Structure 1
Amino acid sequence: PVHLLQTVGERASVVKADSMRIDIGAGSKDEGQGKMKPGDRATFLTPYQEWGELAVGKALDNRAGCAILVELLRGSRYPFDLYAAFTVQEEVGMAGARVASFAVAPDVALVLECTPAYDLPNENDVSPNVALGRGPSVYVMDSRTIQDPRLVSHIMRTADAQGIPFQIRQPGGGGTNTGMIQRAGGGMPAATLAVPGRYLHAPAAIISLTDYARVRQLADAVLRSLSRDLLAR
């Protein structure tokens, strides 16, 4: 506990992972082995809550994208074959996206994501970053890929036509499964559409329910207005 630390150095130092413990209530090694075994995983027990217009929960990056994809699948059929991939290990090499992109070999891919929102009070100018409540986040470039410009333009035109406000995610760091999908096979057109979220990769993240609904609406409209002519340009 911070109040038991004696020096300024102790208070400023970061606690190392091998100094942390998870108390499972075991009184002995034998009792502990009866409760869990090597290789078992631990996670935070964070209940999903709604605070007015905001949703709070764990792993919204990328449960938000998965939930939107489920809603799209529950809607009316698309005028083409739609393959939905709920992939794993995006943060550690994008293995799931690699397997899915080679297995399906799609003509085009739309990645649904949750992207960091840096919209809290800060001494720095945070205006170039996305914020909660201002609509879907459209990727242009990140550390892994330059988004397909045809798809980016199509997404923005569709948003304007539907009256959906959107934000351009600041180019630079981070990355999504688009970086792997775009390079699969002989190359595939791909783009990313994201829900802005605060405190991603923490025990509890926050998103705007309005942003979530708008990403779902925009993703649906983008897919329904896709054409081979668009990709032939």
Structure 2
Amino acid sequence: FNQTPIYNPIALLEYISKHPNDALVLHVERAGAKIDVPVKPTLLPTAGEMKPRIGIQWDTTGKVSIQHPNPIEQVYNSVTSTLKTIGAVASPKSDVKLQHLSGPVGIGRIYYLLFQSERGWQLALWFSVILNVNLAILNMLPIPVLDGGHIVLAPIESLRRKPVNMRVLEVVQTSCAAVIIGYMLYITFFDVQDLPFVRKKLDQLESQSSAKNSQTP
């Protein structure tokens, strides 16, 4: 838009949010022809408040093409991506929050979208490999009940020359397990809202609520 390439919908959304009164020109390609589409944001009810929108809906699947990176490159990209995500979630300056991650429901939705492709089984296999690498990295975090926690605990017990107090260990592991389970339920709550039929119902309820509020004197 405005001679600026868009690599993800968030870039355009941020621009519109910062310039709600500015018209812009979208450079789009339709049926092999490139055309310019002038648009002007309009305030519409979104998530309980009025936000500027331009009346388009993104194709979340997009155009899928198959590439063939070597296994080392795939694992390296997965490791770096996972570490960057963990860093972004931990950073207070980042816009990436826990609710932006995906749990079992979100992962299942990704598999569903992948199998909609002509080469769905290949994409699903690729995603499974990447997912397992990500889980392996998370499993190595120094958190009790995870393998990383046991690895950290072993040298501590070796230096102390005696095992950690079992009562303390039980309390710590139980607490960490409760936190992990709570986290899974937390992100599942947001994953369910992203399901198409749930999102459609929520949008309908939001529109009805906004209409009632606008009619209230």
TM-score by length of 2: 0.23
More relative contact order, 1 or 2 (CA 8 Å, 6+ apart): 1
Task: Name the one with the larger helix percent.
Answer: 2
From the CA coordinates, give the structure whose radius of gyration is larger.
Answer: 2
